[in-house]
């Protein structure tokens, strides 16, 4: 959106963290906001769900950079979201993540200096590469702390060298397999292969977790409640269980939305905090040039996951305050396979929650792609449970005997697809790879006056990426001058 909006009424499609964050920022800039959500409950992937009394996470396992002077911390402060009420710092025992390979264990420590020391000790033959990477990492984390990161769409994005794929950088230095594998994990985390993952995204993810890492104190549902509470406090109205069917345009400009119920909501601008491929379905065929449509339709998605939630005996399996990644790499250090584990305390006496996630392609589930959640049939349930049992068995390598563990729930890419309308159930939306970077960047400039994108496809995925994208959407709507004036003191 090239020009700011004169009017006052904004409709936001989608109540995930992207939509709700935009829904909080815009009233701070004096806009009237309505958030429309297709599901009966708000929160999208941020929200957790309950099974047999256990609260199971979906899209918030840990977040980075929530400290007071750090980018996400500053953004939460501006939003009026209390970090202390929701999050607890990780790394108190010195470890944020443990990466376990067949022949190597690497503990990701808190802080850039600590990481440098650890990598130097573990991979002395990679000193030249390490020096370059640490210099870039420090540069990017310094820029992430500057006000311009928040106010001007983030300076680090302006250095073209950072668009080089991380794999290419490591190739240039003939990095050892172990060094390459350890540094691949942030790419693995955001679902972009190392050889196609721009340095900027790798370093932003790694830097944010190194600045500080945090887990939810309670649950994603509590986090959603706090976001909704703040949104309503600022006068926002939330429509649930009533998706947007169509975005209406008058003379090529946004005029409002039509809901599934048939209701018409007029709007001066619409923020689509949904997947861009879903956005296309809400627009008339001739609203966008064919080439723009094709560009969006052709975007490659990040992969989905299969996730298992199991209750375990708390005495035998006490909480672990870091995450565990069990990873397999080939002889070149390329990660081929992996599982993520989190073992958390729960409110149920005597029981803890083990969450397991591993990549799962959409193709693997395409047999059931024309079915809906809860009605996919016996074969699907069987396949899901077989895989879940295999994953649980493999987890014994790290957690000991899990014979008494109870599987509470298993979700697949199809579950995520249907729950939040993300094509192929991709975890992080369209892939922000070097190869399709220009295409994804162009999403930030939808050529329809009054329409802009927010959520994980706008700027970057993850909690930080979505909140940053919401600030960016608000800046587009309010105009840079008004936006900077309002937020520069806290940026």
Helices (H), 80-126: 83-86, 112-122
Residue closer to ligand FAD (CB basis): 46 or 434: 46
Contacts 24+ apart (CB under 8 A), 280-283: 282/13, 282/244, 282/245, 282/246, 282/247, 282/257, 283/246, 283/247, 283/249, 283/448
Do the bridges between strand 406-411 and strand 304-313 make them parallel or antiparallel, or are there none, so unpaired? antiparallel
- Least distance CB 124 / ligand FAD (angstroms): 32
Residue closer to ligand FAD (CB basis): 22 or 351: 22
C-alpha to C-alpha distance for 239 and 33, rounded to whole angstroms: 11
C-alpha to C-alpha distance for 132 and 222, rounded to whole angstroms: 41
- Least distance CB 412 / ligand FAD (angstroms): 11
Provide DSSP, 392-409.
Answer: HHHHHHHH---TT-EEEE
- Least distance CB 414 / ligand FAD (angstroms): 13
- Least distance CB 113 / ligand FAD (angstroms): 24
Residue closer to ligand FAD (CB basis): 74 or 180: 74
Closest CA to 115 of 99, 103, 100, 101: 99
Do the bridges between strand 9-13 and strand 269-272 make them parallel or antiparallel, or are there none, so unpaired? parallel
Contact positions vs ligand FAD (CB under 6 A)? 13-19, 36-39, 44-46, 58-63, 243-244, 273-274, 278, 305, 307, 357, 416, 420-422, 427-428, 455-456, 461-463, 466
- Least distance CB 394 / ligand FAD (angstroms): 18
Q: Give 316's DSSP letter.
A: T
Residue closer to ligand FAD (CB basis): 468 or 478: 468
Residue closer to ligand FAD (CB basis): 17 or 26: 17
Residue closer to ligand FAD (CB basis): 198 or 276: 276
Name the 3-class secondary structure at 238: strand
Residue closer to ligand FAD (CB basis): 408 or 420: 420
- Least distance CB 373 / ligand FAD (angstroms): 12
- Least distance CB 329 / ligand FAD (angstroms): 22
Contact residues for 110 (Cβ-Cβ < 8 A; gap 6+): 90, 91, 94, 96, 210, 212, 213
């Amino acid at each position: 959106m090239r020009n700011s909006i004169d009017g006052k009424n904004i409709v936001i499609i989608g109540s995930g963290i992207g939509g709700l964050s935009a829904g909080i920022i815009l009233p701070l800039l004096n806009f009237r906001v309505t958030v429309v959500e297709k599901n009966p409950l708000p929160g999208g992937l941020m929200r957790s769900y309950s099974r047999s009394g256990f609260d199971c996470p979906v899209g918030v396992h840990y977040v980075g950079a929530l400290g007071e002077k750090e980018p996400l911390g500053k953004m939460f402060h501006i939003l009026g979201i209390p970090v202390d009420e929701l999050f607890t710092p990780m790394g108190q025992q010195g470890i944020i993540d443990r990466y376990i390979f067949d022949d190597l264990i690497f503990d990701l420590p808190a802080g850039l200096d600590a990481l440098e020391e650890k990598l130097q000790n573990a991979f002395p033959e990679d000193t030249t590469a390490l020096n370059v990477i640490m210099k870039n990492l420090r540069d990017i984390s310094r820029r992430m702390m500057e006000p311009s990161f928040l106010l001007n769409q983030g300076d680090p994005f302006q250095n073209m060298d950072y668009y080089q794929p991380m794999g290419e950088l490591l190739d240039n230095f003939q990095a050892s397999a172990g060094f390459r594998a350890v540094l691949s994990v942030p790419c693995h985390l955001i679902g972009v292969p190392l050889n196609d993952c721009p340095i900027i995204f790798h370093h932003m993810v790694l830097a944010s977790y190194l600045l500080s890492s945090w887990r939810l104190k309670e649950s994603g549902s509590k986090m959603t409640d706090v976001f909704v509470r703040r949104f309503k406090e600022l006068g926002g109205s939330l429509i649930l269980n009533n998706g947007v069917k169509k975005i209406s345009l008058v003379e090529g400009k946004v005029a409002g939305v039509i809901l599934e119920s048939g209701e018409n909501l007029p709007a001066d601008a619409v923020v689509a905090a949904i997947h861009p491929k879903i956005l296309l379905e809400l627009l008339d065929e001739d609203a966008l040039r064919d080439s723009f449509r094709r560009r969006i339709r052709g975007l490659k998605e990040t992969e989905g996951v299969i996730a298992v939630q199991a209750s375990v005996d708390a005495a035998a399996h006490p909480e672990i305050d870091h995450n565990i990644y069990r990873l397999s790499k080939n002889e070149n250090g390329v990660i081929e396979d992996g599982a993520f584990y989190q073992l958390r305390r729960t409110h149920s006496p005597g029981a803890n929650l083990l969450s397991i996630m591993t990549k799962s392609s959409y193709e693997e589930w395409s047999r059931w792609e024309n079915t809906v959640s809860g009605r996919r049939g016996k074969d699907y349930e069987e396949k899901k449970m077989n895989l879940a049992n295999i994953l649980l068995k493999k987890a014994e390598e790290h957690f000991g005997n899990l014979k008494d563990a109870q599987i509470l729930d298993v979700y697949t890419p199809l579950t995520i697809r249907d729950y939040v309308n993300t094509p192929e159930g991709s975890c992080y939306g369209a892939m922000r790879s070097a190869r399709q970077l220009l295409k994804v960047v162009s999403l930030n400039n939808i050529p329809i006056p009054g329409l802009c994108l927010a959520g994980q496809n706008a700027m970057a995925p993850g909690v930080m990426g979505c909140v940053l994208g919401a600030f960016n959407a608000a800046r587009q709507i309010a105009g840079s001058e008004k936006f900077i004036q309002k937020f520069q003191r806290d940026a």
